[in-house]
A = this chain, B = another copy of it.
Amino acid sequence: MVSPAGCWWRRLAVAALAVSLGLEAVYRYLRRRRRGTPREVLFFPAPLSCSEPLLSPGTRCSCPLPHEAGGALSQLLRRLLGARRSLDICVFTFSSPPLARAVLLLHGRGVRVRVITDSDYMAAAGSQIGALRKAGIMVRHNQTSGFMHHKFALLDKSIVITGSMNWTMQAIQTNKENVLITDDGVCVRAYMEEFERLWEEYDPAGYHFFPEDDKEGA
């Protein structure tokens, strides 16, 4: 025998559970939809493809390369081009022309771009750092003996792109590489703090490259 009161509470509990599970599902669906499934891992090498449809939207390209936009490089470019307010890049070597074009495009749109890179490699053959600097993008670099070996970027301070891949054509087209993209708050905060820490550490005001400056009249 179940008393009327017990029956009422049981119904309420079942209904509450159903509503709560429904709310949870809707919340998770909306969260994923708003962010565009931000957790993603891209693997390289990516098959050669033309990036023009992404970098020059609206123009027609007749080059012989495939124009599918599903490859890993296209997915990475699409993610980068999604930045609206800021793009903070911290990469060891940056020599990939399509990635540099994407960064210049964002800079031209008014996105605040900052770049941290490695002093040994920024002037190497094919480096895109000079082109970024010429366009007015802020670049800072290490001045110590170890490598600035990070390969991460932060979009709008809310999505981090990290992994093993330097931003070079060899990495994209030839190496086995991984790129992890996430909006996980713990990760984003950690990488953002590291970026800001290095940005301050590499402030040109603190450069000590030129010991001859200390020699009076030299």
Which residues of chain B are within 8 angstroms of A43 by Cβ–Cβ distance?
Answer: 190, 194
Interface residue A150 (Cβ < 8 Å from any Cβ of B): yes
Which residues of chain B are within 8 angstroms of A194 by Cβ–Cβ distance?
Answer: 41, 43, 178
Cα–Cα, bound, A148→B147 (Å):
20
User: Which of A45, A149, A190: most chain B CB closer than 10 A?
Assistant: A149
A151: nearest chain-B partner, CB-CB: B164
Which residues of chain B are within 8 angstroms of A12 by Cβ–Cβ distance?
Answer: 11-12, 15-16, 19
A201: nearest chain-B partner, CB-CB: B176
Min C-beta distance of A7 to chain B, whole Å: 12
Interface residue A94 (Cβ < 8 Å from any Cβ of B): no
Given contacts A19-B17, A20-B24, contact A176 B164 (CB under 8 A): no
Q: Is the CB of B182 within 8 A of A184?
A: yes
A40: nearest chain-B partner, CB-CB: B186
Count identical subunits in the complex: 2
Which residues of chain B are within 8 angstroms of A40 by Cβ–Cβ distance?
Answer: 186
Cα–Cα, bound, A164→B165 (Å):
8
Interface residue A56 (Cβ < 8 Å from any Cβ of B): no
Choose among B24, B177, B191, B198 the residue that contacts A24 (Cβ–Cβ < 8 A): B24
Q: Is the CB of B150 within 8 A of A177?
A: yes
Cα–Cα, bound, A144→B135 (Å):
38
Given contacts A17-B19, A20-B24, A186-B40, contact A178 B152 (CB under 8 A): yes
Cα–Cα, bound, A15→B16 (Å):
6
Type the 1/0 row for A149-181, where 1 means its CB is closer than 8 Å to any CB of B: 111100000000011110000110011111010
Q: Is the CB of B178 within 8 A of A162?
A: yes
Q: List 28 A-B contacts (CB under 8 A).
A: A12-B16, A12-B19, A15-B16, A16-B16, A16-B17, A16-B18, A16-B23, A17-B20, A19-B20, A20-B20, A20-B21, A20-B24, A23-B24, A41-B187, A41-B194, A146-B170, A147-B170, A149-B175, A150-B176, A150-B177, A150-B178, A162-B162, A162-B163, A162-B178, A163-B163, A164-B164, A178-B194, A182-B182
